[in-house]
Amino acid sequence: MTALDTDPERTTTGFAPDPALGGASSGRTAAPLLRVLLSEITWVLRRPRTLVMIGLIALIPVLVGVGIALSGDGMSGGITALLSGNGLLLPVASMGMLLMMALPVAASFTAADAFAGESAHGTLRALLLAPISRPRLILVKSLGVLSAITATIVVTTLVAIVAGLLLLGGSGFLTVSGTTLPFGVGLGRVALIAGYVVLQLAAFASLALALSACTEHPLLSLVGAMGALITFQIVGLIPALDFLTPYLLTTGWQEALIEPLRDPMALDVMAESSARALCYLLIGLSLTTLRVVTKDS
């Protein structure tokens, strides 16, 4: 179901027919951009599939916390080895697990449906014929996808913090350097990691958005995005292709999550990875714009 299905007088472009003029196209005036954005974001976040997706992902940190609490010790290796008695680290460990597959799938799931879903339901043509600039339509759709990504990370982070403190305990933020930081400082570092993950997922979703603009089938866009993710990960594991590593979006994901856990904190990998993500974001949005503005109505 699309935005047009939920309200016959609403489109994601913010136009409604003027009954006095007896037509759906004549007499339309553009709604304020803020109203259009709020309408799109509300529609995206209220979709059952979005709510189910957020709920399932937010459940993962709880399961991890329960498992560690029942075992009485942290898992072996990496951040998870420090989790026992350090609940504020649970959001970081959860992001590390989810970032490899679940979060990119969730991000691309929403982005793949942005244009291809409208096309599959026959509503994209109406959007393209509406008296609205196509770049504005891209902006609305892009921010709708970003809202779903942000909501997913915010909810997952908050659930992980609460679950970590309740199940694992801890009053500070234990770093991998062996020092314990105040609770407030720890929360700030968790927020930094959450912001970093949002940026990486936005960059990946921009690729799925570009694929969505090029096809009428959301599943094809999703499959294409997943193929890109798997390709990034496989290429990163082949020594003979090391020269491609600096150009892969997934390069540095796990290392960047560790950097805020050091004392003192160094953000070299996170900064480099963020710059790479911004490049991917620019490429993805540019391809989306090129396709949408040249698409036949």
pLDDT at 9 over 60: no
Count of structural domains within the chain: 1
pTM: 0.84
- Flag whether 4 is in a domain: no
pLDDT at 195 over 50: yes
Neighbours of 48 (CB within 10 A): 8
pLDDT at 127 over 90: no
- Flag whether 215 is in a domain: yes
CA distances to 95, 230, 235, 285 from 246, rounded to whole Å, are: 22, 16, 11, 21
What distance in Å separates the CA atoms of residue 71 and residue 146, rounded to the nearest whole number?
A: 37
- Flag whether 41 is in a domain: yes
pLDDT at 284 over 50: yes
- Flag whether 252 is in a domain: yes
- Flag whether 3 is in a domain: no
pLDDT at 220 over 90: no
Residue 85 has a pLDDT of: 78
Domain that holds residue 241: 31-293
Crossing angle for the helix pair 134-167 and 33-46, to the nearest 10 degrees: 50
Q: Taking residues 103-108, what's their average pLDDT?
A: 93
- Flag whether 23 is in a domain: no
Which residue, 34, 38, 54, is CA-closest to 3? 38
Residue 77 has a pLDDT of: 56
Please provide the average confidence, as pLDDT, over all residues in the chain.
83
- Flag whether 120 is in a domain: yes
The band of 17, judged by pLDDT with boundaries at 50, 70 and 90, is very low
The contacts of residue 275 (CB under 8 Å, 6+ apart) are none
pLDDT > 70: percent of the chain: 79
The contacts of residue 284 (CB under 8 Å, 6+ apart) are 203, 205, 206, 207, 209, 210
- Flag whether 221 is in a domain: yes
